[in-house]
Structure 1
Amino acid sequence: MPADNVPDLINSFDVPKETLQGIVGETLAKADDGELFVEHRESENLLFDNGRLKTGSFNTGRGFGLRAVAGEAVGYAESGELSLGALKRAADAVGAVTRGYSGKYDAAPQGTNRRLYGDANPIGEPSFEEKVKLLTEIDAYLRGKDPRVRQVTASLAASWQVVEILRADGHFAKDIRPLTRINISVVVGDGDRQETGSHGMGGRQAFGDFIAADAWRAGADEALRQALVNLDAKPAPAGTLDIVLGAGWPGVMLHEAVGHGLEGDFNRKGTSAFAGLMGQQVAAKGVTVVDDGTIENRRGSLSIDDEGTPSGYNVLIEDGKLVGYMQDRQNARLMGVKPTGNGRRESYAHVPMPRMTNTYMLGGDHTPDEIIASVKKGIYAVSFGGGQVDITSGKFVFGCTEAYMIENGKVTHPVKGAMLIGNGPEAMHRVSMIGNDMKLDTGIGMCGKAGQGVPVGVGQPHLRMDAMTVGGTER
């Protein structure tokens, strides 16, 4: 669907906009905040595995969510039917939280004309046939590169989301959000041993550069390189070691171990390890962490969030001191601060909550070579896979998908099975050197919270962290 066919969602109801405005205004008359959120979404996913197209799906849907906020209480109702009857039923349901309550409706978000991405729907270009051909070429390319390749999995995903937000005061906002991603995974084997490697790219734009021949080949080569590195890896040692984190995707550990703890709702409720620490030193000097939803075409960026607030460049930790939290409108009001443009929801069926956009650490003064050379014995973690974090305690565990030993200041052999174990706030105090090579990930991040998933970005420069606990497989 080209951009000139963008659906007019509010006017897709079976009654005039003025009637909708009247119902929304009446429902939220005694509320502190709330809105009618209407969404249209299209998505396509193609998965090529084991030499054939394994799955192909296309989905389209639309619906609305009506929210009323009264203090800490939230009334929410949603429907996949854009009709007066469905809206009236939703209004009856959410109105329950305002009965006997009298709030002052919050002022509307201050809008801007800023656009961080285009309107075009990426699903139709290139065609379905061209996408299948590309996936076939990726499979053939990798199998022809090395006889040790045993399996290739490649996928293409695209979505196009149109959202409209109507408030009780008549304020109206609209955003059109494209999203694309390509992911390549390869399994290599030598005898009975098999290892994997993967690489992905994505962003809020048409497939364009992501599927140009040189781009997908570079991604395929990177996936194969990582798999072959792991094929030669030795068991990782366990114990207390100095750690060097690579630039870019390793910022996922920062996202999980620190970022979630800086979301407003956890801190308002006192359940975050960072609660009550505003203005205090929560990381080593030199550590500055920001959440930035304003970067053009990035996976986690938003022209406006899902409450209509423009996204922002929000400094969270500055030179080691806690200076800010990420806020949606409800938690910002309850904490007496301004919203930061971090009110996000997975779809019209979900309530908004404080969520990250693109979260990263700013660069420092050291070169990567200087950082590695400073380590007598440690682990160089280049890439991470899955991890777990407890928001309340800050404890985390992350598995390395590509890592190496550092011995006497030099990177030596690759290791497998390395797990980084620690506590987010404590780990931030262990940062002793910060690289000058900050970079963002390649556009593959997905964040889960309270059953909702949203696209995000992460990033950081090379970092040295002293005396970290490493769980390994070496005996």
Structure 2
Amino acid sequence: MTTPTPDHKRYFIEKLGISERLMERCLGEALSAGGEYADLYFESVTSTSLGIDESLVKSASQGISVGCGIRVLSGERTGFAYTDDLSSERLLKAARTAALIASGPAKQLAHGFTHTETPTLYPVAGATSDAEISEKLKLIQRADKAARAYDSRIVQVRAGFNDELRRILVAASDGTFASDTQPLARLNVFVIAKDGVNTARGTSGGGGRVALDFFEGKKSPEFFAREAARTAMLQLGAVDAPAGEMEVVLGPGWPGVLLHEAVGHGLEADFNRKGTSAFSGLIGQQVASSKVTVVDNGTMPNRRGSLNVDDEGTPTQENVLIENGILKGYLTDKLSARLMGTKSTGSGRRESYQAITMPRMTNTYMLNGDDMPEDIIKSVKRGLYAVNFGGGQVDITNGKFVFSASEAYLIEDGKVTQPVKGATLIGNGPEALKYVSMVGNDLALDEGIGTCGKNGQSVPVGVGMPTVKLDRMTVGGTGG
């Protein structure tokens, strides 16, 4: 038997007075009316948010949030209650409230807790939350200055810095006992460029589960500012995107968000056990080109989507979802795993103690292929090269998606030529992957900006892919 790192355990037991005896009592109350499983999710979050607009500090806030969510599972039903008062009286009352969905004799707890050893995928000492707020303010002031210096046509700049330090403790009726301390930081830059009557926008940013010195290296405020300014200036000189079906090349890195939305959500187990996903019942079948392998990996050091343990206390892992085009499995939490007769993949996530757990992605990306990126471009007679994406949406039930490209170019006779504006990619996730004919050897992950929404909950995620060619895709645009 191992124990959590002392800092994780001391915070809840010594600072907040949450003893193992109290947790056992709460779980006992949660199962007092029956139910098959119950868990407690304790959370403490300290956060900072700073914003600068027109070189003036427009917002600055710091906050602390503490609470506990208590869940009871009975068949497919979930009983849930939460409290921001961690007194024994309020915790026990919340446990009794969550128990109301169950019926039957009281269930017995597992004999004692099994303490999960917490990996160390990200720094705790030296996390951004430890830094003075003045140091964080300097970062966005540097970004503002660098964006304005890029070109005189940059007429507006906004920059922001957000960070948090989240401490969690999970105790469950199956004996699970796990804790973690999770840092998270993100710097964002938004600019508007104007040239006569034409205006264009550009955004950039990055971060992860990192210490403040991350922003003193290659991914500095100046780097993100210049990227935001560059994309805005590019749009000023762009031509209207063509429309119709054509070859499409997706660039490495952030374009993996298309994979996340069009494929990843459809592979979350709750949609599949309910039969509402386009991928339901297809395990073992060919769902993509044989060149496509997709994984979801929560164990990558310092990545925005990574977690030492998920929000049910299960260690995260690397999950192969699609291998050489064959569907291998779904992302599961404890509820879906129990109902589907499998094991949790460490994918149980929640926005906060006030929300229930669902199967969610962590860092989702396509693995490298064997093609050289330049050869992929050369193979295209006439098509679109999509380097970066803005917003998008997908229908889980049929896999249909629409994405807007924030940076894209024409490919003509095997060469990247003019930048285009107003390009949208329209398709069906499972269908689109069947048209993947070339996969590059240049896998890249996003800069650390992803936030995924599902059923009203938002969680940090990562995406990525190498350069990929699709032989057919519908492009929406207003050009010829």
Q: TM-score range by the shorter chain?
A: over 0.9
Asked if the contact 1:434–1:462 (Cα under 8 Å) also holds between the matched residues in 2, the reply is: yes
CA gap of 1:264–1:170, structure 2 versus 1, over 3 A, is closer
1:114 is aligned, of 76, 98, 119, to: 119
Q: Judge which range, 407-416 or 133-142, deviates more.
A: 133-142
**1:237 correspondence with 2:242:** yes
Aligned to 1:75: 79
* Whole-angstrom distance in 1 between the partners of 2:242 and 2:277: 32
Within the candidate set 14, 18, 38, 2:21 is matched to 18
- Tell whether 2:162 aligns with 1:167: no
Listed as ranges, the matches of 1:91-130 within 5 Å are 91-100=95-104, 111-120=116-125, 122-130=127-135
The 3-state SS of whatever aligns with 1:8 is helix
Cα contact 1:149–1:187 (8 A) shared by 2 = yes
Matches within 5 A, 1:50-199: 50-100=54-104, 111-120=116-125, 122-199=127-204
TM-score relative to the length of structure 1: 0.95
* 8 A contact 2:126–2:212 mirrored in 1: no
Q: Which moved more, 1:292-301 or 1:169-178?
A: 169-178
Q: Distance in 1 between matches of 2:175 and 2:295?
A: 33
- In structure 2, the CA distance between the partners of 1:189 and 1:72, relative to structure 1 (3 Å rule), is same
CA-CA distance at 1:178 after TM superposition? 0.2
Could you say which residue in structure 1 is the equivalent of 2:12? 9
Q: In structure 1, the residue corresponding to 2:474 is in which secondary structure?
A: strand
What residue is the counterpart of 1:41 in the other structure? Answer: 45
Deviation of the 1:105 alpha carbon: 7.1
- Residue identity opposite 1:435 in structure 2: G
Matching residue of 2:3: none
Correspondence list, 1:274-423, <5 A: 274-423=279-428
Query: 1:271 and 2:268 equivalent?
Result: no
Question: Could you list the per-position Cα deviations for residues 384-408 of structure 1 after superposition, in whole angstroms to 9, with x for gaps in the alignment?
Answer: 0000100001100000000000011
Task: Give the aligned residue type for 1:383.
Answer: N
User: For residues 140 and 21 of structure 2, what CA distance do their matches in structure 1 show?
Assistant: 48
Deviation track 1:428-472 (CA, whole Å, cap 9, x = no partner) reads: 101111011011111110000000000000000000011211110
Q: Specify the alignment match of 1:208 in structure 2.
A: 213
Tell me if structure 1 keeps the 8 A contact 2:35–2:103: no
User: Separation in 2 of the partners of 1:359 and 1:342?
Assistant: 12
1:252 aligned residue: 257
Letter of the 1:160 counterpart: L
Write the letter of the residue equivalent to 1:357.
T
- Mean alpha-carbon deviation: is it higher for 373-382 or for 116-125? 116-125
The equivalent position to 1:463 in structure 2, one of 439, 446, 468, is 468
* SS of residue paired to 2:403: strand
> Aligned residue for 1:424?
429
Q: Is the 8 A contact 2:304 2:460 kept in 1?
A: yes
Other-structure match for 1:442: 447
Matched-pair contact (CA < 8 Å) for 1:21–1:170 = no
Partner deviation per Cα, 1:398-429 (whole Å, 9 max, x = no partner): 00000000011100100000000000100110
2:30 to 27, 32, 49: 27
Q: CA RMSD in A?
A: 2.1
Q: Deviations over 1:183-206 (max 9, x none)?
A: 112211110111111211111011
Q: Deviations over 1:327-365 (max 9, x none)?
A: 000100110111000000000001101000000000101
Q: Which stretch of the first structure deviates more once superposed, 25-34 or 285-294?
A: 25-34
Taking a change above 3 Å as real, the CA distance of residues 28 and 463 of structure 1, as seen in their structure-2 partners, is same
Which SS does the other structure have where 1:9 is aligned? Answer: helix
Q: Distance between the aligned counterparts of 1:147 and 1:192, measured in 2?
A: 15
Listed one character per residue, the Cα deviations across residues 111-164 of structure 1 (whole Å, up to 9, x for unaligned) are: 344221122363444422232233223222222231111011111111000000
Does the CA contact (< 8 Å) of 1:236 and 1:417 recur in 2?
A: yes
User: Quick one: distance in 2 between partners of 1:394 and 1:408?
Assistant: 32
Most deviating of 310-319 and 161-170:
161-170
Mark the CA change 1:289 to 1:124 in structure 2 (over 3 Å): closer, same or farther.
closer
More off after superposition, 182-191 vs 452-461 = 182-191
1:367–1:456 Cα change, 3 Å? same
Q: Distance in 1 between matches of 2:174 and 2:75?
A: 18
CA distance in 2, matches of 1:110, 1:272: 36
- Output the amino acid matched with 1:335: M
Alpha-carbon offset, residue 175 of structure 1: 0.5
Q: Matched residue of 2:140: which SS?
A: helix
Q: Which amino acid aligns with 2:95?
A: A
The answer to which of 55-64 and 100-109 deviates more is: 100-109
SS in 1 for 2:417: strand
Q: How far did residue 255 of structure 1 move?
A: 0.1
Report the Cα offset of residue 210 of structure 1.
1.6
**Structure 2 residues not aligned, in runs of 5+:** 1-5
| Cα distance, 1:16–1:350 mapped onto 2, change above 3 Å | same
Amino acid at match of 2:62: F
CA–CA distance in 2 between the matches of 1:447 and 1:10? 32
Classify 1:6/1:180 alpha carbon distance in 2 versus 1 (closer, same or farther; 3 Å). Answer: farther
Deviates more, 1:87-96 or 1:436-445: 87-96
CA, structure 1 residues 205+316, in 2 after alignment: closer, same or farther (shift >3 Å)?
same
Does the aligned pair in 1 maintain the 2:394–2:402 contact within 8 Å? yes
| Aligned residue pairs, count | 473
Mapped partners of 1:109, 1:398: distance in 2:
45
What do residues 31-89 of structure 1 show as CA deviations (whole Å, max 9, x unaligned)?
32221110000111111111211111111110000111111011000011101221122
1:262 maps to what in 2?
267
Q: Is the 8 A contact 1:75 1:96 kept in 2?
A: yes
How many angstroms apart in 1 are the aligned matches of 2:140 and 2:92?
47
Change (3 A) 1:214 1:430: closer
CA 1:241–1:345: 2 relative to 1, 3 Å: same
Contact 1:379/1:406 (CA < 8 Å) preserved in 2?
yes
